[in-house]
Homo-oligomer: A and B are copies of this chain.
Amino acid sequence: MGRPVLLKLESMQPVAAFKVRAAFNSILAHLDECLSTGVVTNSSGNFAQAVAYAATRLGVESTIVMMRGASAFKRGRTEAFGGNVVLCEDSFEARFEATERIRTETGRRLLHPYNSPETIAGNATLGLELLEQVESEFDLYVPISGGGLIAGTTLAVKAGRPECCVFGVQAEANPSMKLSLEAGRPVRTAPAQSLADALTVLEPGSRTFPIVQQHVESVELVSEEAMASAVRLLAVEQKLVVEPGAAVSVAAALATPPDRDRPLVCVLSGGNIAPETLRALLADAS
């Protein structure tokens, strides 16, 4: 690409996703309360595993509400990390209701996957690390679901080095943040199938949206084919297993390289791809 391309390997984190940053920070910020009451959350997958992992490490009880249709792969891992999984019907409303019920009945502290100050601050550690790891100004590509990762990362990066540019990336199938920016307020999109099963939040968070609105340069959209191709490229050329919702950053960077020579940093936000999905995406790689 004519300039350095750096990959931030959140896929190599414990639970193979950046979500441990937010999970640990959300518990550590209220540790005494969490030790006493336990925590509850809901998640499409990676945050569930992260909360289970962080809670178990910190001696805290965790309950995770997941939809019945959630990946068996991610559910099994959440349980393996020590989380108590409670299943609900396949809608965000049902999941919200089940979570609220548990929170009210048990007094457990609710951890939000992307829209709490603790979550955003936890994710900001990624930006702080980039400031240490990259010496010059850089262009950053960050996947967006609810906006927690890009909000935290951008706040840290722009506070330390305002000349850096940050680009958000979503799947074409779920352009909630892009449409919200165009509308000037958070708007809700309809659910749609996508390989990027980690990028399924249908509406930006009330806290994350204004941060993105104010600090992020633009949001790019990536086709299913382009993200599949990026997963293949990362496996075959870089020897990295990443999930489609993470590979969108590379797909976007490849599609729209800004015309300059500063390093380009792609956040590979997670590696939790089901083996059969990776296998299918490798089929066209030879």
Contacts and interface: CB of A to CB of B under 8 A. Distances in A.
Interface of A: 11-12, 16, 73, 232, 235-236, 239-242, 271, 274-276, 278-279, 282-283, 285-286
Contact of A278 (B11, B271, B276, B282): B282
Given A240-B241, A279-B279, A286 B274 contact: yes
A16 B12 CA distance: 18
Contact of A241 (B241, B274, B276, B279): B241
B286 A275 contact: yes
**Secondary structure of the A contact surface, majority rule:** helix
Nearest to A271: B239
Contacts of A279: 279, 282-283, 285
17 contacts: A11-B239, A12-B239, A16-B239, A73-B286, A235-B275, A239-B240, A239-B242, A239-B271, A240-B241, A241-B241, A274-B286, A275-B282, A276-B286, A279-B279, A279-B282, A279-B283, A279-B285
A275 B232 CA distance: 9
Contact of A235 (B73, B278, B283, B285): B278
A31 to B, nearest CB: 26
Contacts of A282: 275-276, 278-279, 282
Closest 8 CB pairs of A and B: A275-B285, A239-B271, A239-B241, A279-B282, A11-B239, A275-B282, A275-B286, A279-B279
Nearest to A284: B275
Of A236, A239, A240, the most chain B CB neighbours within 10 A belong to A239
A250 to B, nearest CB: 15
Contacts of A12: 239
A249 to B, nearest CB: 16
A232 B276 CA distance: 12
B275 A236 contact: yes
Nearest to A285: B275
Contacts of A275: 232, 235-236, 282, 285-286
A273 to B, nearest CB: 9
A43 to B, nearest CB: 19
A271 B240 CA distance: 10
Contacts of A276: 282, 285-286
A286 B232 CA distance: 19
